[in-house]
Amino acid sequence: MFRMRDHVISLVAVFLALGLGIIIGTSISENMLVTQQRLLIEQMTENYRSLHEERLQLKAQLQSLTRDLYLWEKFQESLYPSLVKDTLKEKKIAIICHGSSIPQGVISLLQDAGAMLCNVISIEETSALSGKTSGLGKILAFMLTQKEMSEEMNNQLRTFLERQEVQIEKGAQERPETVLLFCGEQEQIDRKLVKELAVFLHGEAITVIGLEQSDVKKSCLGELKALGISTIDNVETIFGQYSLLSVLRGCAGNFGIKEAADELIATF
C-alpha cells in the first residue's frame, strides 16, 4: 500500500538528483569556459609575440634601407659634378610638353650640364584643345626652326595662343639641335599632332627624344620608337635622367621600364 512517507522520499530523491545534476553540469561548464579562455589568452599572447618580432624585423629593415638610401644619395652627390657639369655645353635644346609637365630636376640637369635652353612649349590635353589641330605640329616645327610661316599658319598659331591652349616660353633665340618631347597618357594627347611634330622636326634634321614619366599607364612612346626616335619612359627618376644625359650626348635607343624600352639605362 502506497504510503505518504514513500512519496516524500521519492520527491526528495528526485530533487537531490536534479540538484546534483545542476552542480555537476555547472562545474563542467565552468571548467570548459575557463579552459577556452585560457587557450584564447595563450593564442593572443602568441600572436602578440609574433607581431612584436615581425615589427622589430621591419624596423631593422627600414633602418637598413634608410641608411642605404642616405649612402646612395651621397654617392649621387659626389658623382653628379663629374658626370653632369658642362657635358652639354652650349647644346641647343627646346622642350615641348603635351598633356604632361616637365619633371622636377630635368631643367636643373640641363642647366648644370651647360645646355642652352631655347623655347619651352606647352600644349594642353586633347580635351582642352577646342580648335582644329591638323597642321599645328608643322606650325610649331616651323616656329622652332625659325622658318618663315604663311599668314594662315600665323593666324592658326595666334588663335591657339590667345586661347592659351598653346603656351610658349621663349628662351635663347636659337634654332635647337634637339627637342625633348614630354607626353602624357594616350587619351590626354593628340597622337596625330605628336607624330606630325616628330616627322617635321626629323625632316629639319633636328633630333627628337620622346619622354614620359613612370606613372603614365598608356604610353605613346612605342609609336615614337617605330619612327626611329629615342625614348625614355622614366625620366623623373635618376636612372631616366642619366639616360637622358647619355642620349643628349649621342647614345641612341629606347630606355626605361616599360614595354617599348629595350634597356633599363643608357650608357655614355
Q: Which residues pair with 98 in a beta bridge?
A: 123, 183
- 202 vs 184: CA distance, rounded Å: 21
Query: How far apart, in whole angstroms, are the C-alpha atoms of residue 40 and residue 87?
Result: 68
> What is the per-residue pLDDT across 22-66, written as a single tens digit (0 to 9) for each?
665 655 555 666 677 778 777 888 888 888 888 889 988 888 888
Q: Helix H segments across 213-267? A: 221-226, 238-248
| Residue-level pLDDT at 51 | 87
pLDDT of residue 122: 94
Segments of 87-152 assigned E as strands? 92-98, 116-123
Q: CA of 251: how far to CAs of 18, 37, 257, 263, in Å?
A: 96, 70, 18, 12
Residue type, position 87, single letter: T
The pLDDT value recorded for residue 95 is: 96
Query: Which of the residue ranges 48-62, 73-87, 98-112, 200-214 would you say has the lowest mean pLDDT?
Result: 73-87
- The CA distance from 158 to 76, in Å, is 44
Q: What is the Cα gyration radius of the chain?
A: 37
pLDDT band for 181, please (50, 70, 90 cuts).
very high
Q: Most distant CA pair in the chain: distance in Å?
A: 137
Three-class secondary structure of residue 63 per DSSP: helix
> Among 14-28, 76-90, 181-195, 224-238, which is the least confidently predicted range?
14-28
Q: Letter for the amino acid at 11?
A: L
Is pLDDT at 77 greater than 80 in this prediction? no
What Cα–Cα distance (Å) separates residue 173 from each residue in 60, 106, 109, 138, 170? 55, 21, 21, 19, 7
For residue 83, the model assigns a pLDDT of 81
- The answer, yes or no, to whether residue 21 has pLDDT greater than 70, is no
pLDDT digit string, tens, across residues 149-164: 999 999 999 999 999 9
Indicate the range of 1-10, 126-135, 169-178, 214-223 predicted with least confidence: 1-10
Residues facing 178 on adjacent strands: 93, 207
Count how many Cα atoms sit within 13 Å of the Cα of residue 175 in the half-sphere of its side chain.
10
d(CA 226, CA 209): 13
113 secondary structure, DSSP code? T
Predicted TM-score (pTM) of this structure = 0.74
pLDDT tens by residue, 218-248: 999 999 999 999 999 999 998 999 999 999 9
Q: What is the model's pLDDT at position 18?
A: 64
Mean of all residue pLDDT scores within the chain: 85
What CATH number does the domain located at 85-255 have?
3.40.50.280
123 with 233: CB under 8 angstroms?
no
Selection from 122, 76, 98 nearest residue 245 by Cα: 76
